[in-house]
Amino acid sequence: MDTTVPTFDLGELQQGNHQEEFRRCLADKGVFYLAGSGLGEADQKPAKDVAVDFFEHGSEEQKRSVTSPVPTMRRGFTGLESESTAKITNSGSYTDYSMCYSMGTSGNLFPTDDFEQIWTGYFDRMYRASRDVARQVLRTTGAEPEGGVDAFVDCEPLLRFRYFPEVPEHRSREEEPLRMAPHYDLSTVTLIQQTPCSNGFVSLQCEVGGTYVDLPAVPDTVLVFCGAVATLVTGGEVKAPRHHVAAPGRDRIAGSSRTSSVFFLRPNSDFRFSVPLAKECGFDIGLDGETATFQDWIGGNYVNIRTKTGA
Active site residues: 74
Q: Which distant-in-sequence residues (6+ apart) come within 8 Å of 114 by Cβ?
A: 50
Q: Which of 191, 194, 189, 190 lies closest to 204 in space, CA to CA?
A: 194
Torsion of CA 65, 68, 71, 74, to 10 degrees: -140
What is the C-alpha separation between 211 and 200, in angstroms, rounded? 21
Strands, sheet with 211-214, edge to edge from the N-terminal-most edge strand = 178-183, 243-246, 204-208, 211-214
Q: Per-residue DSSP letters for 298-309?
A: HHHTS---B-SS
- CA geometry: angle at 173 spanning 222 and 85, to 5°? 60
